[in-house]
Structure 1
C-alpha cells in the first residue's frame, strides 16, 4: 500500500485571520514545516447571481456569492515562496477556462518557482456563465480538457512544440521556462466512469475525487487501475486525492477520532492523499497548531 499523504486546503482560511490572506501564507509555511505533504486551494473565476443561487438550491453550495476566490496559481506562487517541501495543487483548477498555452506557461512557472512541487488538479467546472465571461466554449469541455493537458505536455517537453487542438494550434513553438519536473502530475476531477477514467489514463496521473462520489469509491479505484493497465501504465503510480469532511458526533461537535478512522479507511481503499480544509472544522486560528499536529499524526499512526 502506498504511504498516506496529508493535504491542507487553504480555501477560505483567511476567515480564520479576519480576512487577511497574507496570514494564510504563515499557515502554509507552518504546515510545510511540520510535515504536511500538499497545500491546495480551489478555483472559480466568478458567478452570476442566478447561477450561484441555483447551485445553492440544487447542490447545497456552501460558499457565499461574496466569497473571495483568490486566483489559485497566483496564490500558490506566494505559497511557493514561503514553503520548501510540500506539493502545491488546486482542487480543482477549471483548466478549460484558460487558453492552453497560457496555462502551460503559468504551471511551468509555478513548478520552477517551487523547485518542482506542482501536482495540479484540473476540472471543467459546472457554470456556463464562467465560460461566457471568459470567452471560452462550454460545449465539449471534457474532450477539450484532455486536449488541454496534451497541449501542455507538448509545451513542457523538449522544444520546439507543435500541436493542433480545437480552436488553437501552434507549430515550431518555443516556450520557457520548462517545468523542473520531467512530468508534472495532473489529476482530473471527473466523475467516476470508464470514459472519464480512460481520459485520466491517457493523459493524466490521477484522480481528485468529489465527496459525492465516495459511495462507490472502492469500485471506482478498481476501474481506474484497470484503465491504467489497459493503457500500459503502472496502476501503482496513480495519485488519488480525497477531501475529508470532518465527522461530527450526536452533539454536532467534530469527532477527530472518527474523522481519522474515515481517512484511514479511504487510504486502505486506494486514496493516496487525504485533504482537510481547516474552516470546515469550525475552529479558530488558535486551534491551527493542534489541527496540523493531528493531520501529521495520521501519517505517523499517532492520530
Structure 2
C-alpha cells in the first residue's frame, strides 16, 4: 500500500502561511511518504456553497483558500525528489483540454515523471458558468478531455476529432516523462462510470460517501478492467482516510490504522491522510508523517500473516 498526505488546508496549521507547507512536503518526501495530494475548486457561488454545506456537510467555509493545484504541485515538485504529485480531484472539465494537457505535461517534466492526477467533474454549475464551459454532458466530455491529453502527451503532430474539441497537425511539447501519466477518476461507483475508467483512465479515487459499498465496488472495478482487456490488479484505488476519534474528540491513531488496514484488505492501493484534519498545529505533523509511513510496513506484515 502507498500512503499520501493531502496538503489542502495545511497552511492553517502554520498561521495561514503556505510556504511552510512546502517544507512539510519536503519532510514527507524524505521520510518515505509516497504521494502529496491537494484539492481543487476554482471558486464558489455563495448560495450554491451554502446549499452544499447544508445538504452534504461540505467542510470548507466560503473564505477557505483554494490554491490552484497544478501551480501548487509545481512548487512541491521543486522541493521533493520522489513523491507522486496528485490532485484529488482536479475539476478537469472546467479547463480547456489542450491547456490542461500542457499543464500536466509540464508538471510531469519538471518533476521527473511524478504526476498522478485525479480528475472529476465537480458538483457546482457556477464554476462552469464562470469559466464559460458547458455543464451538461460533462461526464462524457471527461473522456474526450483525457483522450485529448493522451494524444498530445504522445504525438507531435497530434490530431483529434471529438464532439467538442478538435485539432490537426498540432505540436505541443514537452511530452511527459512518463510513458503513461496515471489518471484516476473521482466518480461514483457504477458500471457506467467504471467503464469510463477502464476505457481511458487508470483507477478510481473514492468519495468518502461511497465507502459503505467499497469492497463490492472494487470487485466491480476490477471485473470491468478485465472485461476491457486490462490487468485488473493494475487498477489504482485511492481512498481518503479521516481520523477516528475518541469520546473526548482526540485523534485515535490506532483505530485509524485499523480502519486503513481494513480498507487496504478490501482493495485500497493508496491511503491519503489530510494533516489539517489530524493535527491542530504544525508541530504535530512530523508524528503524523512517521505514523503514516509506518502503516506501510504494518500493512505488509498483516497481509503476509494472512
Structures share a fold, TM > 0.5? yes
1:213 Cα deviation (Å)?
0.3
Paired residue for 1:300? Answer: 297
* Deviation per residue, 1:116-136 (Å, 9 max, x gap): 001100000000000000000
1:202 Cα deviation (Å)?
0.3
Flag structure 2 segments of 5+ consecutive residues without an equivalent. Answer: 302-306
Q: Residue 132 of structure 1 is aligned with which of 129, 150, 158? A: 129
Aligned partners of 1:181, 1:204: CA distance in 2, in Å? Answer: 15
Matches within 5 A, 1:237-276: 237-276=234-273
Q: Residue 8 of structure 2 is aligned with which of 3, 6, 11? A: 11
Aligned partners of 1:214, 1:161: CA distance in 2, in Å? Answer: 39
Aligned partners of 2:264, 2:168: CA distance in 1, in Å? Answer: 43
1:284 Cα deviation (Å)?
1.1
Aligned partners of 1:240, 1:283: CA distance in 2, in Å? Answer: 28
Paired residue for 1:221? Answer: 218
Matches within 5 A, 1:201-212: 201-212=198-209
Paired residue for 2:48? Answer: 51
Residues 1:198 and 2:195 aligned together: yes
Paired residue for 1:72? Answer: 69
Paired residue for 1:90? Answer: 87
Flag structure 1 segments of 5+ consecutive residues without an equivalent. Answer: none
Paired residue for 1:162? Answer: 159
Name the SS for the 1:163 alignment partner.
strand
Aligned-pair RMSD on alpha carbons?
A: 1.0
Q: More displaced, 249-258 or 8-17?
A: 249-258
Name the SS for the 2:112 alignment partner.
coil
1:89 Cα deviation (Å)?
0.5
Give every structure 1 segment of 4 or more consecutive aligned residues whose post-TM-superposition deviation is greater than 4 Å.
Answer: none
Paired residue for 1:60? Answer: 57
Q: More displaced, 58-67 or 154-163?
A: 154-163
Paired residue for 2:304? Answer: none
Aligned partners of 1:196, 1:148: CA distance in 2, in Å? Answer: 15
Normalised to the residue count of structure 2, the TM-score between the two structures is 0.97
Normalised to the residue count of structure 1, the TM-score between the two structures is 0.98
Residues 1:152 and 2:149 aligned together: yes
1:282 Cα deviation (Å)?
3.7
* Deviation per residue, 1:4-28 (Å, 9 max, x gap): 1000000000001111111110000
Paired residue for 1:113? Answer: 110
Aligned partners of 1:23, 1:281: CA distance in 2, in Å? Answer: 17
Name the SS for the 1:301 alignment partner.
helix
Aligned partners of 1:83, 1:263: CA distance in 2, in Å? Answer: 26
- Length, aligned pairs only: 300
Aligned partners of 1:261, 1:140: CA distance in 2, in Å? Answer: 40
